[in-house]
Amino acid sequence: MAVLSIKNLFIEYQIKSGAVKAVEDVSFDVEENESLGIVGESGCGKSTLGTAILRLLPQNAKITGEILLNGVNLLELDNESMRKIRGKDIAMIFQDPMTSLNPIMRVRDHFFELFKVHNPDIKKNEMIKIASEALESVGVDPKRLNNYPFEFSGGMRQRVMIALAIALKPKVLIADEPTTALDVVVQEQIMQVLKNLMKTKNMSIVLITHDMGIVAEMAERVAVMYAGNLVELGAIHKLYNKPMHPYTRMLLESIPNIKLDDMDLKFIPGSPPDLKNPPRGCKYYPRCPFTKDICKKNDPKTKKVDSRIVKCWIYGE
């Protein structure tokens, strides 16, 4: 059975001038011990989706649908029960390690705060023990528990963030652009840490990123999002070797590579639609090279084609 299952999820942000449809009818499963990548351009709703799973969205976000974690619908839980789940059953690491640690708290106090929420009677010795183990598993010296965040480099801070997220051995880890603020060498080190954790801790990872290179190295399945829709989902090899949705194809082609014989800079012309006022029909048609009449009129349904999910009129009614 899937650990995490998203069913017909809709998310709207209510703003003064109307509603922004950030996520529209998204469904997918995350299996046990699996790494699922979610990719797309800025503003495609991938971070909103990730944040919604932990129910950390702002007040003006309206969520409908189901988010099932081990069969329990998280959207129906009250705040107190949700608090008990966050950090313990499901955890998240954020993009910017500079702003996601409290600058006036020692690293160990970040851990202690987390542990006390889930177990008010926990002893200090035990807390230090768990925290040290977590830090060790991401390659940080446990002696540094007494340091403040500013005493760490960016890469080390991101390691601390990961250690905090996995300290209570969650089943699912949501990583929202975990390496975007870091440079290549540190990024590589952090990816190694995540890969190791996946092997040793029996944990599923939902990796949200715009970097198709990272997904290729980390994920087993990939979900491609465009303007709030899930447009394609499939196994990594199949999707990269033979993308089905025109957007996936363009996205793959527009990645800068390091092959010297390929000097053609490709990009997707145009820009993503305004989600306050999206186009009728398929949201991608204004940028799509294969647009037909039907694309402008009706939104395509999500179809299952050869063990893949794709949302495009090319693949029939």
Partner 1 sequence: MVNKMNTETFLKVEHLRKEFDLKVPWIEAIFKHKKKTVKAVDDVSFEIKRGETLGIVGESGSGKTTLGRTVIRLIEPTSGKIIMDNTDLTELRGEVLRRARRDFSIIFQDPMASLNPYMRIGKIVSHPLKIHNIGTKQERKEKILSLFEKFNLTPPGEFYNRFPKYLSGGQRQRVVIARALITNPKFIVADEPTAMLDVSVRSQILKLMIQVKKEFKLTYLFITHDLASAKYICDRIGVMYLGKIIEIAKKEDIFKEPLHPYTKILMSAIPIPDPNVKREKLMPKGEIPSATNIPKGCRFHTRCPFAKDICKEQEPDLRNVNGRLVACHIV
Binding site for partner 1 (CB under 8 A): 41-42, 153-156, 182-189, 191-192, 210-217, 236-237, 240-241, 250-252, 254-258, 260, 263, 265-268, 271
- Rank residues 70 and 180 by Cβ distance to partner 1 and give the closer one: 180
Rg (CA), the chain: 20
Q: Shortest distance, CB of residue 291 to partner 1, whole angstroms?
A: 18
Closer of 6 and 38 to partner 1 (Cβ): 38
Q: What angle (nearest 5°) sits at the alpha carbon of residue 222, between those of residues 227 and 243?
A: 80
Least distance in angstroms from the C-beta of 101 to partner 1: 17
Tokens of 15: 């703003």
Q: How far is the CB of 32 from partner 1 (least distance, A)?
A: 21
Cβ of 262: how many Cβ atoms within 10 Å?
Answer: 10
CB of 314 to partner 1, least distance (A): 21
Between residues 90 and 193, which has the closer beta carbon with respect to partner 1?
193
Q: Taking the complex as a whole, how short is the minimal distance between the CB of residue 159 and partner 1, in angstroms?
A: 10
Residue 100, both tokens: 């996601």
Which residue, 126 or 151, has its beta carbon nearer to partner 1? 151
User: d(Cα 69, Cα 172) in Å, to the nearest integer?
Assistant: 9
- Which C-beta is closer to partner 1: that of 1 or that of 258? 258
Least distance in angstroms from the C-beta of 81 to partner 1: 37
How large is the greatest C-alpha to C-alpha distance in the chain, in angstroms? 67
CB atoms within 10 A of CB 237: 10
- Closest CB 113 distance from partner 1, rounded Å: 27
Q: Collapsing DSSP states into helix, strand and coil, what is residue 201?
A: helix
- Give the distance from CA 265 to its chain's centroid: 27
Distances (CA, A) of 308 to 33, 205, 244, 302: 20, 20, 9, 10
Alpha helix (H) residue ranges in 278-317: 293-297
Half-sphere exposure of 243 (CA within 13 A, CB side): 16
Nearer to partner 1, 127 or 225 (CB): 225
Least distance CB 89 / partner 1 (angstroms): 29
SS3 183: coil
In terms of CB distance, is 256 or 316 closer to partner 1? 256
CB of 215 to partner 1, least distance (A): 8
Q: Which residue's CB is nearer to partner 1, number 104 or number 265?
A: 265
Q: How many CB atoms lie within 10 A of CB 154?
A: 15
First to last CA, the chain: 30
Q: Could you tell me if 314 and 248 are in contact, meaning their C-beta atoms sit under 8 angstroms apart? A: no
Nearest by Cα to 39 from 232, 303, 313: 232
Question: Which is nearer to partner 1, 5 or 209 (by Cβ)?
Answer: 209
